[in-house]
Chains A and B, each alone.
Chain A
Amino acid sequence: MNDETKKAAALTGAAVVFAALAVVFLTAGMRERPQHPIFLVDPVHLDTSPVRMNYDTLTDARYDTSDYDCYLCHSRAERVELQFDDVGDLILKEHDYITFAHGPARAANYCFNCHNRDRLDQFRTQYGRTLSFSQSSELCGSCHGVTYRDWVADAHGRTSGYWNLAMGDRKRLDCTQCHDPHDTRFPSLAPAPGPHSMRDRIPAQLATDGRNDDE
């Protein structure tokens, strides 16, 4: 082959490669790109309502509060007597749904640490002050002074609304809206889904194909 034939061959080869590239690009452009499902936030995880209800929310929402009407069952004249078993655990009859886990073992299984033995529909602090059911947080504060001080300063417990009180109101929760007073540990929760990296597959039940088209 002489020089010019080689040149022509090289050029033709380049032309073929270019043409092939053009074809590849065009066919690739026509292929439909797969649409990815979108990860949706489960509204369960957005719920800002407290895990428990205090007495006021129960009454306001007209829930059944008969449980708090002690003298439906108890007699005003008769003093409640507590019964303990051999190891010192409280024996429950009617209130057997209550579990006691407040402080060290058996420290709090004496009902009248908090409840007023003489007026069952009231609380009574260890220093003899009586409080209504709506004042439960003050009752807690009578023992848990530091935490109560934090709570009053909004440093303990949940708040919502406005950090700037000049612009709006702030809502502060009562102790019992997070803590069961008989079993004070905050309940366990199922964790929301973990992080999704770029190349993660999205669980089918949380996905939608509701792509938003802007064109």
Chain B
Amino acid sequence: MSDMHSTPGPREPARPGNDNGMSRRSFLRLSGGATAFAGVAALTAGLAPLRELASFTSLEKFLQKHYKEMTPREMERVLDRIAREVERQYGMRPHVRDLKPMDGVEFVYALNLSRCIGCRRCVHACVAENNQSGDPALEYIRVVKMPQGTFDLTKGEHNYEPESVPEEGYFYMPVQCQQCANPPCVKVCPVRATWQEPDGITVIDYDWCIGCRYCQAACPYFARRFNFKKPVIPKERLNPNMSYLGNRPREVGVVEKCHFCIQRTRAGRYPACLEVCPVGARKFGNVLDPESEISYILREKRVFTFILKEEQGTLPRFFYYLDK
């Protein structure tokens, strides 16, 4: 910029009789043009990978409204679109529904720490039920092996692989979304793509999430997972019983998490992790029904919320309890 004050080359009035100056200037123009051309070429080549995004979104998807703003008819059309997409991608016509919360129902989960043997069956049943991506393998439940006598999670082990479980001197603590009554993840979402339903399940509208991962940063339970890649579900593993807010296949770049198997529980059934648990450590039900097993447990057992995070005031709907 030393010639801030000087006239730039091309604008300078030609000095008569200076052929050399003329040719230099034309060379300057040539090189300027070449630079512009090469720059545009580099830009085009650099952006070429974006061609693969042709099928990334469609006008239909782009104009889709937020879950809460959709009319029943619009929702029907969206469900139909999802069914079509799944059929095209996986060759199987799924049963996609939008199940609504039931009146007088608030779901609560309880997990018996004195029963859990850390076999991780729940983790894999969840993956299969909820159509989670296999690459990278995405799991909602994390089982932490803890030495007996402490709840200090930094002493826990996540990657234990012994011959058989349980191991002497340890207990096992499966952690998944705690469905907080005071959820920090919902508060931080800048687009309100995640919210708490009347039955206590915190859900995500996968078609509204912008993937900023603020909720992941806010969650004190490491419950939320982000689709860092386009999810890949083996065809033979696809669960065709799907729900809009639940286990329909997700897209790349959105957050997902445990939703108490909304496609099962809102149809009256138990979650998949509960049914697979070989020791019956997992209990689930309607806390507003005094006859339910969950009410019985909360009345009769030594129940506590996530021991390290009680001070967070998140009021989980997921309780840990002990028999004795």
Which residues on A are within 8 Å of B, measured CB to CB? Answer: 3-5, 7-8, 11-12, 14-19, 21-23, 25-26, 29, 36-42, 45-48, 50-51, 150, 153-164, 166-168, 173, 178, 186, 188-200, 202, 208, 210-212, 214-215
Contacts and interface: CB of A to CB of B under 8 A. Distances in A.
B275 interface: yes
Nearest to B172: A191
Contacts of A202: 137
Top 5 closest A-B pairs, CB basis?
A167-B268, A18-B38, A196-B137, A164-B268, A38-B134
Interface stretch (B74-82, B112-120, B147-155): B112-120
Contact of A195 (B49, B139, B233): B139
Contact of A14 (B35, B127, B297): B35
B73 interface: no
Interface in B237-286: 237, 265, 267-270, 274-280, 283-286
B166 A160 contact: no
Contacts, number: 217
A190 B300 CA distance: 32
B127 to A, nearest CB: 5
21 contacts: A3-B6, A4-B9, A4-B25, A7-B9, A8-B24, A22-B46, A23-B45, A25-B48, A39-B134, A45-B121, A47-B276, A150-B300, A162-B270, A186-B278, A190-B119, A190-B164, A191-B118, A191-B160, A191-B165, A192-B124, A214-B88
A155 B298 CA distance: 10
Contact of B278 (A21, A158, A163, A197): A158
A163 B164 contact: no
B55 interface: yes
Contact of A8 (B31, B237, B277): B31
A212 B235 contact: yes
Contacts of A12: 31, 34-35
A196 B136 contact: yes
B120 A11 contact: no
Contact of A160 (B28, B117, B270): B270
Interface residues of B, number: 84
B128 A41 contact: yes
A163 B284 CA distance: 7
Contacts of B235: 210, 212
With a 10 A CB-CB cut-off, give which of B274, B293, B296 has the most chain A CB atoms: B293
Contacts of B279: 158, 178, 186
Given A163-B286, A192-B123, A210-B235, A19 B42 contact: yes
Contact of A212 (B27, B90, B139, B162): B90
Contact of B3 (A3, A36, A188, A200): A3
A200 B139 CA distance: 13
A189 B117 contact: yes
B135 A38 contact: yes
A19 B268 contact: no
B291 to A, nearest CB: 9
A5 B301 CA distance: 87
With a 10 A CB-CB cut-off, give which of A15, A163, A208 has the most chain B CB atoms: A163
B41 A22 contact: yes
B198 interface: no
Given A18-B38, A215-B55, A155 B137 contact: no
B142 interface: yes
A50 B165 CA distance: 17
B136 A195 contact: no
B16 to A, nearest CB: 18
Given A8-B27, A21-B46, A173-B280, 11 more contacts: A18-B38, A29-B49, A38-B232, A154-B296, A155-B296, A160-B270, A162-B268, A188-B164, A194-B161, A212-B90, A214-B89
A153 B161 contact: no
Contacts of A163: 265, 268-270, 284-286, 292
Nearest to A50: B278
B124 A168 contact: no
